[in-house]
Structure formats: C-alpha cells, structure tokens
Amino acid sequence: MMLVDGRPATLLSAADRGLNYGDGLFETLRVQAGTVPLLARHLARLSAGCRRLGLPCPDDAAWCADITRLLAETAGEGVLRLVLTRGDGTRGYAPPPDAQGRRIVSFHPLPTPAPRALRVGICQTRIGFSPALAGLKHLGRLEQVLAAGEVVAAGWDEGLMLDGEGRVVEATRHNLFYLRGGQLCTPPVELAGVAGVMRALVLEAQSRLGLPGGEAVLRYDELHEIEELLLCNAVAGLRPVRWLAGRELAGESILARMRQPLHEAGVTWLG
C-alpha cells in the first residue's frame, strides 16, 4: 500500500523532479510490533537534508498521519519507505521557486533474513566523492544499484564499496563499523556515503559505553588488520560479518556489548 501526498495511489506524475533529476530524499524505517521506534530520528535527518537541499519540508504531522494510516492496514512487522521529492516541475534543473514537494509513503514486508553472520565481498564499483551530497540519503543511488548487482552475481550477502582512492566507505545498503587495535571505528561520511540513523545510534552507544574509537579512515590495504566488522542499518540493526573476502572473522565482542544500549535506544530487533 502506498500514499502519495496522503492519498492512496500507485501512480505519480511523470513530471516529478524526483524521477527526472533525482531531486529528493528518502528514509527507510523499521516497523516493529506496529510501531516505528526510530521515527523521530528519521524525521530529524530528513528535515536536516531538506535544509541542505532547499527542499520544502512537510510537517512531521503530515508524515505521521500517513504512517498511522498505513500501519492501521498492514502487518505489525515491516519496512516503511518515505520519499520526499521537490514535486512537479517543467524541464530544467533549477528548482521551481514555488515547489510544493511531494510525499510518497509505502509499506513493505521485511526483507528475506540474511544469515545472522554475513558473507561480505568487495565491490568493483567505486563510490563517488560528492561534497555537495555526501551524508544525504538522496534519490540518486545508481552506484549502489551497480554494486548491489555485483553482490547478487557473486552470491555474497553484502559488498563493501571503496572510493576512488581505495578507502572503504560503506556497504551497498549498510554503514560499517570495524574493530582495529582495540578501537571501534567507522569511516567518515563527509565526502561520500550516507550518514545512517543506525550509524549515529551505534556511535552514541559507543560513547555511552566508553569504547575508544570514532570516525577513522580505513583503506582497502588495511582490511587485513581489522579484528571485527559489523554492518548496520535501520532495518537490519547491527550485524556481524563472518566472512570478508575469503577471510573468517570470528569475533562478536562488539555486538555483545552493543545489544543493551541499542535496546535501550529503541532497537529491539537486533539479531
């Protein structure tokens, strides 16, 4: 089921700037027992993205009304996708001064569960640098589409994406955390990658636990130095990687320590 600007619909205008120019943002939210525990964080990130892009940002109340309506008609477990585009426009890149924006909210079943411990390879498709867009979950995901095709073809559960200079940025649909020399780190997202809601939660939990680390660059040729690798997103939570490009990674010390603080933050669906 899907709502477009609050009305049940499966179609939208072919003049939508989200389609024609990738002019919009999206959020992917976990629905757990009929509720959306991280809703406030997702809406705050969306609102911050709107300010960066000059997108007209709907009131939280509009999103909440859509979500309430969808959840009343759907199962208690699943995924919500919120899309905000700049709405219709004539041909031409410049944002229309009177853009109204368009909300598209849809409910989806949970993805087929991946094995609890993941098999992860390294994608050939590089992720670009884009200082103007880095951190945002914008609609232009074509690099991730190509990389996800590699993941399927190779039979992995996920794939890491490197930037053009050989730094590990993220996986196709997850952020990542790695343990190296006792430091729990995640790649910075100032030049490339998505500043994920779950990534922020893990960083907060790390801080509360007093675990050393934080944002730090990880190069491809340093991957052999990491002791544990975890992938995270709002749907899957935080997942340990068991196999990384031919190497076994046995440890789960981080997941064990994170379970409690993440649970307290509302993430009750950790594996």
Active site residues: 28, 137, 170
Nearer to its own copies, 38 or 147 (CB): 147
Nearer to its own copies, 82 or 258 (CB): 82
Min dist CB 86 to its own copies, Å, is: 8
* Helix 197-209 / helix 39-53 crossing angle, nearest 10 deg: 120
Secondary structure (DSSP) of 216-271: ---BGGGGGG-SEEEEEETTTEEEEEEEETTEE----HHHHHHHHHHHHTT-----
- Return residues touching its own copies (CB under 8 A): 2, 4, 9-23, 26, 28, 53-54, 79, 81, 83, 85-86, 90-95, 104, 106, 108, 111, 125-133, 138-149, 151-152, 164, 172-173, 191
Query: Comparing C-alpha atoms, which of 69, 48, 79 is closest to residue 234?
Result: 79
**Is the CB of residue 43 less than 8 Å from the CB of residue 26?**
no
Query: Comparing C-alpha atoms, which of 126, 107, 91 is closest to residue 3?
Result: 107
Nearer to its own copies, 147 or 202 (CB): 147
Min dist CB 201 to its own copies, Å, is: 22
Min dist CB 211 to its own copies, Å, is: 31
Token output for 189: 């997202």
